[in-house]
Amino acid sequence: MKLEDIRREYTKDGLRREMLKDTPVAQFELWLQQAIEAKFADPTAMVVATVDEHGQPSQRIVLLKHVDENGFVFFTNTGSRKAQELKQNSKICLHFPWHEIERQVIVYGEAQALPTSRVAKYFLSRPKESQLAAWASQQSRPVSSRQALMQTFSSMKDKFAKGEIPLPDFWGGYCVVPTKIEFWQGGEHRLHDRFMYVKQADGSWEIERLNP
Ligand X SMILES: Cc1cc2nc3c(=O)[nH]c(=O)nc-3n(C[C@H](O)[C@H](O)[C@H](O)COP(=O)(O)O)c2cc1C
**How far are the Cα atoms of 44, 74, 137, 201, 206 from residue 140, in angstroms, in the given order?**
22, 17, 9, 37, 39
Is 65 flagged in the annotation as binding? yes
Q: Is 45 in the site for ligand X (CB under 6 A)?
A: yes
Sole binder of ligand X in the list 13, 29, 34, 60 (CB under 6 A)? 60
Angle between helix axes 146-159 and 128-136 (nearest 10 degrees) is 120
Q: How far is the CB of 134 from ligand X (least distance, A)?
A: 9
Q: Is 76 in the site for ligand X (CB under 6 A)?
A: yes
190 belongs to the catalytic site: yes
Q: Is 82 in the site for ligand X (CB under 6 A)?
A: yes
Is 209 flagged in the annotation as binding? no
Angle, vertex CA 133, rays to CA 157 and CA 32, nearest 5: 140
How would you classify the pairing of strands 193-199 and 91-98?
unpaired
Q: Is-contact 89 50, C-beta < 8 A?
A: yes
Q: How many residues at the interface with ligand X, by CB under 6 A?
A: 16
Q: How far is the CB of 190 from ligand X (least distance, A)?
A: 29
Q: How far is the CB of 62 from ligand X (least distance, A)?
A: 4
Q: Cα separation of 135 and 139, whole Å?
A: 10
Given the rule CB under 6 A, which residues bind ligand X?
A: 42, 45, 58, 60-63, 74-77, 80-82, 139-140
> Binding site for FMN: which residues?
60-65, 75-76, 81-82, 104, 139-140, 184, 194
